[in-house]
Chain A
């Protein structure tokens, strides 16, 4: 059986509307009959990633691949890159701006949440070129 793929353009200009891709993915997974704990983990991983793309990278592309044994989320942006991944993975570390903070973002918990809710996470980043975050959630 071929993988099912959903692809979304994440608009980087509007903090308020961030989360459209995650919401759509969640609703698609519900229709496909996945258990609620899997859907919840995918939703959290993807929403945190989507917010990161809006806050730090002026948007990007989010792709969700539903395979036989797992769901893979690939978030690709052309933002500034992450100079120090170890630092970025620390709870509480954030470089988000005041606008993000006013809306309740920028707690420095995004990447740690993504790591915790996924079974595998890989960050491929080049400073000045962009970042691709790949997360896998096992469904079997």
Chain B
């Protein structure tokens, strides 16, 4: 499944579009950045409520496929602008992190 297909399957909001053809390899939920650095795998969807620009740096370092801000969280201006510069997929949903993860797992299993 690609980021584009995931976006359509879950009806995600697009804050910033990067490479939407990137392959989704699974997911990781977390708000503590070093846990994400240590545990998220290449191509994962990262579900988080963190919305500052350090999130973009972590996304770049871990080579995840996209960030999904859950719980209706909006990115701050610095994160948005950083994602635009780095061409990072930054998406959003009103679902809780748990619900979004469950939906992601369902979409990946189909």
What residues make up the interface of A, taking CB atoms closer than 8 Å to B? 15-19, 22-23, 26, 36, 40, 43-44, 47-48, 51, 103-110, 112-113, 116
Contact = CB atoms under 8 A, between A and B. Distances in A.
Contacts of B35: 107, 109
A87 to B, nearest CB: 16
Contacts, number: 71
Interface string B43-59: 00000001011110110
B54 A16 contact: yes
Interface stretch (B4-12, B15-23, B60-68, B90-98): B60-68
Specify which of A16, A106, A110 lies most central, judged by the most chain B CB atoms within 10 Å of its CB.
Answer: A16
Contacts of A109: 32, 34-35, 37-38
A19 B50 CA distance: 17
B33 interface: yes
Contacts of B37: 44, 47-48, 109, 113
Given A16-B52, A113-B37, 20 more contacts: A18-B54, A19-B60, A19-B61, A22-B57, A23-B57, A36-B63, A40-B42, A40-B62, A40-B63, A47-B61, A48-B34, A51-B33, A103-B33, A104-B52, A105-B33, A107-B32, A109-B35, A109-B37, A110-B34, A113-B34
